[in-house]
Chain A
Amino acid sequence: GESVGLHLPTLSVQEGDNSIINCAYSNSASDYFIWYKQESGKGPQFIIDIRSNMDKRQGQRVTVLLNKTVKHLSLQIAATQPGDSAVYFCADLPLQGAQKLVFGQGTRLTINP
């Protein structure tokens, strides 16, 4: 991900609906991608990851899709719950070189009752 210091985009969904959060990355050498959840005043919490040799990976209520052609990553959250309200960030790592996680812009997800 490439963070440019812009304010966070927001996404509001109804409780029980599915959410899709998108992320674009710019480094074609990125090999590994992670989605993090950050609640207010806390550090990022690991959600799910995917390697560049995959295009889909599923976890509990979450699915990550990777489209390397257009350098796009998405996080799908099924049956959203109030506890899913948070800011979601994607981060990526290159295959070679310094193993520094670079965070994307982030999306604030709000769940409406």
Chain B
Amino acid sequence: GAVVSQHPSRVICKSGTSVKIECRSLDFQATTMFWYRQFPKQSLMLMATSNEGSKATYEQGVEKDKFLINHASLTLSTLTVTSAHPEDSSFYICSARSQGAGVSYGYTFGSGTRLTVV
């Protein structure tokens, strides 16, 4: 089945530094990847949609200069949290959609990255 690998699973960084999170589709090509953010005891909130080779589309209220998304290949998308602050601490989850897949099973989620900014 489709597998999405997300790395790292946990990261602690200091305020003001940047952190990069990787999302890889291991056995399929993902034309579209999605990045979500989840606060404790809350639902997943879509941050942005990235399409291979083009700029990401950000949801309203998400700072594109703070959350840099790159989708340079069909198997890799990265989310960089720039100048991180404690309020950026959250659980970040990526999802990849395979090209040509039926809607069922088309969306596969990574295991998430717990970011803690101190």
Q: A: which residues have CB within 8 A of B?
A: 1, 3, 5-8, 32, 34, 36, 41-46, 49, 89, 93, 98-106, 108
- Which of B39, B104, B111, B114 has its CB near the most chain A CB atoms (within 10 A)? B104
- What are the residues of chain A within 8 A of B25 when measuring CB–CB? none
- What are the residues of chain B within 8 A of A36 when measuring CB–CB? 109
Q: Are A98 and B49 in contact (CB under 8 A)?
A: yes
In the bound complex, what is the Cα–Cα distance between A32 and B39 (angstroms)?
26
- What are the residues of chain B within 8 A of A101 when measuring CB–CB? 34, 46, 95, 107
In the bound complex, what is the Cα–Cα distance between A106 and B41 (angstroms)?
9
Select which of B32, B39, B108, B109 is within 8 A of A99 by beta carbon.
Answer: B32
Q: Are A3 and B44 in contact (CB under 8 A)?
A: yes
Q: Are B109 and A45 in contact (CB under 8 A)?
A: yes
In the bound complex, what is the Cα–Cα distance between A62 and B104 (angstroms)?
16
In the bound complex, what is the Cα–Cα distance between A42 and B81 (angstroms)?
20
B66-82 to A contact mask, C-beta < 8 Å, 1/0: 00000000000000000
Select which of A8, A43, A49 is within 8 A of B111 by beta carbon.
Answer: A43
- What are the residues of chain B within 8 A of A89 when measuring CB–CB? 43-44
Tally of B interface residues using CB under 8 Å? 28
- What are the residues of chain A within 8 A of B32 when measuring CB–CB? 99
A3-B45, A6-B42, A8-B41 are known; give 14 further A-B pairs, CB within 8 A. Answer: A3-B44, A5-B42, A7-B41, A7-B42, A32-B103, A43-B110, A89-B44, A93-B103, A98-B57, A99-B32, A103-B44, A103-B46, A106-B42, A106-B43
